[in-house]
């Protein structure tokens, strides 16, 4: 404990007579020790063992500014200083990310024997590879912004889309998180995704594969699972769930991890508000899934699925696909 924290605790002990603060602190300490012992956690680190949500929030904010400087950067930024701002901000963001990646890689190896220098060199390589992909991330995001602008008659400009649409904020976070997930920083990627989830109500697992020109309209309540695969030009409305139907149990009695269990959505599919699509099924190219539909079987390309069609039977082609 630092001298500042010891001083603050001593002061609170001296001034608080309404509760047993030392006893509560001691009790919490004992609970933490039991948890760490049960989890096999080492006591020799001293400092933080894993990435910080607060630090990553700052990193993502800086990355958003660097990706869209004139729209998500500082209010007083001018175009003539745009490159300077991007360079300065990226340098700060990548150094901040480097420390968080180092912590995650050390956390992943907490039962191993990698030297700190090896962990740091791997972190530098990972962040360097991530940084090199930022132009392609921006290009991909441009297709998402265009899809939102052209897909919503209420959108008056692409600038309005970037500044105002929660779906775009969620997708920006996802494009960043997905790249970090693929590069080997899944915990950081999950934190980045959950920052967007908290802000928008849109829950996209960083492992989900999503093609270009993706648009989430309105967005609140959308859930996209880890192994979902979405093609190009897919559009979702609020409260859509792309989830798992069932979970396989392993030999140890726990859930099997990482198995494909979420839907495959092919190109040019539209899924309307409140629809629930479950399991490793395929929604064929160009299909339209109506609002509040509950779907657990595959449908062929260019299907039109509504509550009525499910209640009264589907076409012959759809029956063959079911």
Residue entry with tokens 């629930």: 276
Q: What residue spans of the chain are helical by DSSP H?
A: 3-15, 21-39, 53-67, 69-72, 82-108, 116-132, 134-151, 158-164, 166-183, 186-200, 307-312, 316-321
- Whose structure tokens read 């995650």? 104
| Torsion angles phi and psi, residue 295, rounded to 5 | -125, 125
pLDDT tens across the length of the chain (322 residues) = 555 556 555 555 555 578 999 999 999 999 999 988 887 765 555 577 889 999 999 999 999 999 999 999 999 999 999 999 999 999 999 999 999 999 999 999 877 889 999 999 999 999 999 999 999 999 999 999 999 999 999 999 999 999 999 999 999 999 999 999 999 999 999 999 999 999 999 999 999 999 999 999 999 999 999 999 999 999 999 999 999 998 778 777 777 788 999 999 999 999 999 999 999 999 999 999 999 999 999 999 999 999 887 776 654 444 433 3
What residue ranges do the domains of the chain occupy? 47-200, 221-322
To the question of domain 221-322 being in CATH 3.40.605.10, the answer is no
pLDDT value of residue 246: 81
- Asked if residue 185 lies in contact with residue 123, where contact means CB atoms within 8 angstroms, the answer is no
CB 266 within 8 A of CB 281: no
Task: Tell me which CATH code domain 47-200 carries.
Answer: 1.10.3130.10
Please tell me what DSSP assigns to residue 215. Answer: E
pLDDT of residue 226: 97
Report pLDDT for 320.
36
Residue-level pLDDT at 270: 98
Calpha distance 320→322 (Å, rounded): 6
* 43 backbone dihedrals φ, ψ, rounded to 5°: -100, 10
């Amino acid at each position: 404990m630092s001298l500042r924290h010891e001083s603050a605790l001593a002061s609170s002990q001296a001034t608080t007579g309404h509760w047993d603060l030392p006893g509560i602190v001691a009790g919490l300490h004992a609970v933490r020790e039991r948890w760490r012992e049960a989890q096999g956690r080492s006591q020799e680190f001293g400092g933080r063992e894993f990435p910080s949500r607060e630090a990553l929030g700052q990193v993502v904010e800086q990355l958003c500014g660097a990706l869209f400087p004139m729209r998500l950067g500082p209010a007083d930024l001018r175009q003539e200083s745009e490159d300077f701002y991007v360079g300065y901000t990226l340098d700060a963001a990548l150094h901040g990310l480097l420390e968080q990646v180092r912590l995650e890689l050390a956390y992943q190896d907490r039962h191993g024997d990698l030297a700190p220098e090896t962990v740091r060199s791997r972190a530098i390589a990972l962040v360097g590879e991530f940084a090199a992909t930022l132009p392609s991330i921006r290009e991909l995001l441009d297709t998402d912004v265009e899809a939102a602008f052209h897909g919503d008659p209420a959108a008056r400009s692409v600038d309005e889309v970037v500044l105002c649409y929660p779906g775009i904020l969620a997708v920006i976070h996802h494009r960043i998180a997905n790249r970090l997930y693929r590069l080997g920083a899944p915990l950081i990627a999950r934190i980045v995704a959950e920052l967007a989830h908290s802000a928008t109500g849109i829950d996209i697992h960083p492992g989900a594969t999503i093609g270009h020109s993706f648009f989430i309209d309105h967005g609140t309540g959308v859930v996209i699972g880890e192994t979902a695969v979405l093609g190009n030009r897919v559009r979702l409305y609020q409260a859509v769930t792309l989830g798992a139907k069932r979970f396989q149990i392993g030999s140890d009695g726990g859930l099997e991890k990482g198995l494909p269990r979420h839907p495959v959505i092919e190109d040019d599919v539209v899924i309307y508000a409140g629809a629930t699509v479950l399991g490793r099924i395929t929604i064929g190219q160009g299909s339209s899934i109506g609002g509040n539909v509950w779907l657990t079987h595959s449908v062929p390309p260019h299907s039109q699925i509504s509550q009525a069609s499910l209640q009264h039977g589907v076409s012959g082609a759809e029956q063959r696909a079911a």
